[in-house]
């Protein structure tokens, strides 16, 4: 699983040698990976289908919000 592999790789990094931005980024990645593993372990990932924040019902709106419309071509 990608989350477990990522956590194992994060453990090999010498975090004190990194600047604060990279350490913060690594902390966030680690937190997300651990949360994902817990969701799978306790099967709370199944609840995302019914959530108004996550899941298939939110996908179209989320993709629309990520599309750039700063030129006429992109707006079309």
Asked if the structure places residue 41 within a domain, the reply is yes
Helix axes 20-41, 2-11, angle to 10 degrees: 140
Q: For residue 76, is it within any domain?
A: no
Residue 31 lies in a domain: yes
Which domain covers residue 59, as residue numbers?
2-71
Residue 60 has pLDDT above 80, yes or no: no
Q: Which tens digit of pLDDT belongs to each residue from 4-49?
A: 887 888 889 998 999 999 999 889 888 988 988 898 899 887 777 6
Helices vs. strands in the chain: H and E counts, helices first: 4, 0
What's the predicted TM-score (pTM) here? 0.57
């Amino acid at each position: 699983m990608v989350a477990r592999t990522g956590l194992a790789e994060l453990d090999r990094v010498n975090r004190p040698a990194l600047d604060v931005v990279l350490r913060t980024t690594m902390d966030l990645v680690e937190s997300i990976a651990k949360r994902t593993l817990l969701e799978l372990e306790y099967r709370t990932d199944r609840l995302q289908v019914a959530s108004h924040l996550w899941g298939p019902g939110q996908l179209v709106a989320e993709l629309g919000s990520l599309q750039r419309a700063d030129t006429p071509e992109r707006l079309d």
